Amino acid sequence: VIGTGRMAAAMMSTFARINVNVVAVSSHDSNRQQKFAQAFNIPPSKDDLDSLLQRRDIDAVYIANNNTEHAATAIAALEGGKAVLCEKPIAVSAAECERVVHVARKTGNLCVEAIWTLFLPAYRRFVDLAQASACGKPDHLYCDFGYPVDRSTSPQLFAAQGGGVLLDRSVYLIALALRLFGPAETLHAQLDLTDEGVDHRASLMLKHKSGGHSQLSTSLTSLRSNIGVLACSNGTLQLGEPLVGSESISLRHKAPDLGRGYLGRRRRLTGGLRQNPLVRRLKRSLPNFHREYHSYGAHPYLPQLEHFLKLMEARAVESDIIPFELSMEIYRIIDWARAGNKVGVHEGRGS
């Protein structure tokens, strides 16, 4: 385990759940390294990261240090022959991400970006339903994700290097949009920056090459609706709140077409009922959708860990849920949003 922060601690209970044997922890700070090892019964060691990466008894690393260090740490681990599960964002730019992918391909070692949401049963089912046209042809994805965070408790989110809402939150939504619609063709980005120039609010409008649209908004400063809705030709598919961590999907089909004309019996009957406020209120209180519940079990990070372990067993180099191309496209879009923001609106991919 590389890193000793909140996420590394959270993953320790997930590792324990499926008997992953954590043999070492690495930190920049030897005190934190020892304290973390003690807290989670990891054998004590004063070795630095380079020495740990030489150890033959370590098969894989989980990287949860600061965002600015992810790419370099992943590259060092891959070159040391380890499989890598790296927290999002795996890189802070497209160029960095491409370097990681290049080394993973060159060394043939597994590398997966831990965008845990995409591995959740509800997300997998959501993508399957969309691909099977369960509500008709997918057309428009709307996702809204955010809750206010305090700068004093989460200073890293506002750091000039590696901070910002794009890297911390938009990553999840862009990843889902790419799973559903594939690569993007045009982007309109609206970013709001702190005085230090860090994005804290982002609205992205993507048109995908496949024709689909995605409207993705994220914030570090306000409580959002935290839902995701995929509008399709015959209805909508919705990921229930909280969007990041969702365990439910609602399917709503459009009302049957009553045909043309205004004299049909059914049309006359529904028209009459609609004039009664109580009937309208009763109708609103009845569910007009079908809901499916897909639990992730005891820990939200368990599905991604199980997926990673299966890939290790199969000696795979990349994940089919988050393939390298998907990770690289995320950071191209983020670079693109940042570049576009400097000049207002940016359209077209350019060269």
Ligand X SMILES: NC(=O)c1ccc[n+]([C@@H]2O[C@H](COP(=O)([O-])OP(=O)(O)OC[C@H]3O[C@@H](n4cnc5c(N)ncnc54)[C@H](OP(=O)(O)O)[C@@H]3O)[C@@H](O)[C@H]2O)c1
Binding footprint of ligand X on the chain (CB under 6 A): 3-8, 27-29, 32, 64-67, 87-88, 114, 116, 156, 168
Q: How far is the CB of 172 from ligand X (least distance, A)?
A: 9
Please answer whether residues 27 and 45 qualify as being in contact, where contact means their C-beta atoms are separated by less than 8 angstroms.
no
Number of residues that make up the chain: 351
- Choose between 92 and 129: whose C-beta lies nearer to ligand X: 92
- Please spell the DSSP secondary structure of 116-172, one letter per residue: GGGGSHHHHHHHHHHHTTBTBSEEEEEEEEE----TTT-GGGG-TTT-SHIIIIIHH
Q: How far is the CB of 135 from ligand X (least distance, A)?
A: 29
Q: How far is the CB of 203 from ligand X (least distance, A)?
A: 21
Alpha-carbon distance of 152 to 106, in angstroms, equals 41
Pairing of β 290-293 and β 248-253: antiparallel
Q: How far is the CB of 116 from ligand X (least distance, A)?
A: 5
- Choose between 153 and 285: whose C-beta lies nearer to ligand X: 153
Which residues have C-beta within 8 Å of that of residue 56, sequence separation ≥ 6? none
- Choose between 7 and 37: whose C-beta lies nearer to ligand X: 7
Q: Measured between alpha carbons, how far is residue 118 from residues 239, 277, 301 in Å?
A: 12, 42, 10
- Choose between 32 and 188: whose C-beta lies nearer to ligand X: 32
Residue of this chain nearest to ligand X (CB atom): 5
Q: How far is the CB of 89 from ligand X (least distance, A)?
A: 6
Rounded to a whole number of angstroms, the distance between the first and last alpha carbons of the chain is 39
Q: How far is the CB of 212 from ligand X (least distance, A)?
A: 26
- Choose between 15 and 116: whose C-beta lies nearer to ligand X: 116
- Choose between 87 and 247: whose C-beta lies nearer to ligand X: 87
Radius of gyration of the chain (CA): 23
